[in-house]
Amino acid sequence: MIDSELFREFIDYAGNFIIAAVIITLVALEIWLINKAANYLRGKVQQSSLKNLSIQSFELISAQKQRLALRGVIDVVQIAVILLDIYFSLVFILSIFPKTKEVAGSLIDFIFIPLKESFYALINYLPDLFSIIITVIIFRYLIRMVKSFSREVEKGNFLITGFKPYWARTTGSIITFLLYAFMIILILPYLPGYESIAFKGVAAFLGALVTIGGSSVIANYMAGIVISYMNPCQKGDWVEIENTTGEVVEISQFAVKIRTTRKVVVSIPNTKVLQSHVINLSGEHENHRTLLHTTISIGYDVPWRQVNNLLILAAKKTEGVDLSVSPFVRQIKLDDFYVVYELNVYSLDVHRMFEIYSELHKQILDAFAEAEVEILSPHYRAERDGSSSTIPDKEG
């Protein structure tokens, strides 16, 4: 009796077993074809003549790394296709047997329920996504308008009363930054997971990071904004900041870089620049004359007119001095034993300032040597021997 029931069930399921066997055979054939196709693509990738991806002289990804990346993609796609093929074949085989239909249904729900939920979530999110897209488009055009307007103001094509053209770039950058910040504030509530604990934790971490580690960075950035409005110097100017003198080679948002006469570049943070005096030796226009000066001290035994003439003579022989404006001498100090003279000359080439100083000192030495005038600061000392003639009276 039992054997006959088993035989009847076997006869009933024989067709199903045949279908399952055919499916397994087809799956094996598909896996073989997938492997063959993957090997073929790997060979094509290996034989392909790829070029290195680079930006100017910097190599981003070499050709060999590109081949490895493509082979990795092929491997991932190959494994995924094989697993999906096996998965759906297994579901189909289980569904043709009455006792395993529930298992097949569970396997189908395992994939399709998350897909269905994701699809409905995407449909429900479309209004928020549309709001984000509209907001981004509006602010994108506003930012373009601000940049275009600031460029025209900077070029002088559009004049604003009381507004200097070199303020335009910094003002445009500030407005652009504020527009970006406002756009992000408007977009954030529409982002998925905005109210989640993870999102709030990330926001709190970023806030703490900026508060603890970014104070000096923010201070330098704000100082850079103030400096750009002050415009104490420009690229190419010869300046003196604290104890550093040289040519300005870069003015960034965080520091000013100066190339000194020793051909070294010194970076001065913007906060330091803002707190110190900036002496711009280049002036505010191209034909600016820089006043150079040097001092010497000569004893009272040499007439001041002779000293003045010798200094003027040395200045006129110095290369780099602008003689369209006459050099002049000041007597800046009458000391106990000598007079301090200051020679002032003009120069249009401030970049050669130290060379001109050196040449000027050479000419001064030559001029005084030819006139047999010794350059020195005499000091006198009186010694007392204790006699009554050298001790002043108490009454006198």
pLDDT at 308: 94
Of 340, 357, 358, residue with least CA distance to 296: 340
Give the model confidence (pLDDT) of 20-55 as tens digits.
788 888 888 988 998 999 898 888 888 877 777 776
pLDDT at 122: 83
Tell me what percent of the residues of the chain surpass a pLDDT of 90: 19
Cα dihedral across residues 3, 4, 8, 9: positive or negative:
negative
Q: Mean pLDDT over residues 328-353, rounded? A: 90
pLDDT at 213: 64
Of 275, 287, 377, residue with least CA distance to 335: 377
Do the Cβ atoms of 338 and 378 come closer than 8 Å? yes
234 Cβ neighbours under 8 A, 6+ residues apart: 248, 251
Give the model confidence (pLDDT) of 346-385 as tens digits.
988 888 888 899 999 999 999 999 998 888 887 766 665 6
299 Cβ neighbours under 8 A, 6+ residues apart: 337, 338, 339, 376, 377, 378
The architecture that CATH gives domain 234-280 is Roll (2.30)
Domains of the chain by residue range: 2-96, 133-213, 234-280, 290-370
Question: What is the DSSP-derived secondary structure letter of residue 395?
Answer: -
Of 43, 42, 60, residue with least CA distance to 51: 60
Q: Mean pLDDT over residues 289-300, rounded? A: 90
Give the largest CA-CA distance in the chain: 159
Chain centroid to CA 224: how far?
A: 13
CA angle 22, 26, 27 (to 5 degrees): 115
Average pLDDT, rounded, for the chain: 82
Both tokens of residue 376? 């020195």
Q: What is the dihedral of CA 199, 204, 210, 212, to 10 degrees?
A: -150
Both tokens of residue 344? 């002032």
Please state, in angstroms and rounded to a whole number, the distance separating the CA atoms of residues 112 and 29.
26
**Do the domains 290-370 and 234-280 match in fold?**
no
80 Cβ neighbours under 8 A, 6+ residues apart: none
Please state, in angstroms and rounded to a whole number, the distance separating the CA atoms of residues 251 and 241.
13
SS3 content of the chain, % helix, strand, coil (to 5): 60, 15, 25
327 Cβ neighbours under 8 A, 6+ residues apart: 311, 312, 315, 316, 321, 343, 344, 345, 346
Give the model confidence (pLDDT) of 108-152 as tens digits.
777 778 778 888 888 888 888 899 999 999 999 999 998 888 888
Give the model confidence (pLDDT) of 166-207 as tens digits.
788 888 888 998 999 899 889 988 888 777 787 778 778 777
- How many CB atoms neighbour CB 311 within 10 A? 26
- How many CB atoms neighbour CB 170 within 10 A? 19
Tell me what percent of the residues of the chain surpass a pLDDT of 70: 88
pLDDT at 84: 85
Partnered with residue 248 across adjacent β-strands are 258
Residue 396: band (very low, low, confident or very high) from pLDDT cuts 50, 70, 90: very low
pLDDT at 276: 83
User: What predicted TM-score, i.e. pTM, was given to this entire model?
Assistant: 0.56
pLDDT at 343: 94
Q: Which fold has domain 290-370?
A: Alpha-Beta Plaits (3.30.70)
Could you please report the per-residue DSSP string of 304-316?
HHHHHHHHHHHHH
Q: Provide the residue type at 130 as one letter.
A: F
Q: Is the pLDDT of residue 299 over 80?
A: yes
Please state, in angstroms and rounded to a whole number, the distance separating the CA atoms of residues 269 and 215.
13
pLDDT at 1: 45
Please state, in angstroms and rounded to a whole number, the distance separating the CA atoms of residues 172 and 179.
10
Specify the 3-state DSSP secondary structure of 69: helix
Q: Which of the residue ranges 131-135, 328-332, 380-384, 391-395 would you say has the lowest mean pLDDT? A: 391-395
Both tokens of residue 215? 């104070």
Residue 97: band (very low, low, confident or very high) from pLDDT cuts 50, 70, 90: confident
Between 18 and 326, name the one with better pLDDT. 326
Cα dihedral across residues 93, 94, 96, 97: positive or negative:
positive
